[in-house]
Chains A and B, each alone.
Chain A
Amino acid sequence: MAGLEDLYREIILDHYRSPRNRGELEVPPAHKVEGFNPLCGDEVVLYIDVDPETETVRDIKIAGQGCSISQASTSMMSSAVKGKSLAEVHQLTRAFKALMSIHESKLEGEGDGSDLEAELEGVRLGDLEALQGVVKFPVRIKCATLAWNTLQQGLDEAEHAPSP
């Protein structure tokens, strides 16, 4: 049986107790997006500032409330994507979901996942790997992915929003 230490790694608890990038950004130029986990009431609020010239996440701030996994994951996500190009963010998102055993290409029936492995080779997840233990607690996977799904939604919205 997977123990609590597999789920609640020290780095996760650290991000939960001292979340990084907490705060707000001015909207616009930043884009605000909210994500909810209706089952348990987790709530994630992101302020994303994308530089349209360089297609880079110039800044990101986080707010919200919820369980340690959802809030720590949000904090870790914000640190991981800040300053990264949108292409890198996309790769990180895919890599993180793969870590959570969610393979979108497999779900969509394209190929056997080996393309994904090739694509993700060399993607450095860093601290995010601490969340790997969540996979052993399937009920909590949606807590860990909430931040990333919200980020994806926010970037999609920002991309399709009329430029200021």
Chain B
Amino acid sequence: MEPITTELVLEVYNLHVFYGSLHALNDVSFDVKAGEIFGLLGPNGAGKTSTLSAIEGLLKPKSGKIIVGGFNSREKPLHAKASLGVQLQATSFQPELTVLEIIQLFAGIYGLPMSKEKIMRLLQDIRLEDAVAKRFAQLSGGQQQRISLAISMIHNPKLVLLDEPTTGLDPQSRRQLWERMEGMREKGHSIVLTTHSMEEAEAVCDRIAIVDHGRVIAKGTPAILIAQHQNDPDVIKASRRGKITLEDVFIGLTGKAIRS
């Protein structure tokens, strides 16, 4: 594994986002280093997707600063976007287009000339070379997810944002995706990942931030978070098997109540 450097590929400072009167993100700050997998964890509606949307430029924060790959997202939005690869939670491509046409579309959007041979190599990498002429709507969920991830990486970005990428995947596909993420990290890419799975966070994330009610309530490596909170009464109460896990810390910090 490549060592994580101190170079920052993402800096988020004092982010505030409002939806009408709802304060969705309240003073969110964190950073991501080059070659790091950073996990954003939180219950439903905690602010994970809003954080990613602000970084992606899909929503305008009321205040705060976001720097992607050295570019301020307010001052140089296109440069910031070009430094990013994104896999959205609910995303799709025109169902009428074939896999080849979708890849050509995004290669063109990112200003990359891509021959058919190069596209075939890309598809071979994700074992979808037989799907080149298939329309996106004809692919299985796992295949769509692989295409989506490949497109998010098509321009070799410094930072990749993955919004709940393993939701709905079978264990084999999930493991495969984890391996892909680790492969990306080895090549020096950084990843910001949102997930509900503590197992996933512990398995692949170098550092995590727990978000609740629009605030970052804890930040660090999974091991450090467990060590820091293992004696909290709420964490001990949440523990089911005696040994404190990341899930116990998460439940202890965010509460047992189900969020809508």
Question: Do A and B form a real pair?
Answer: no
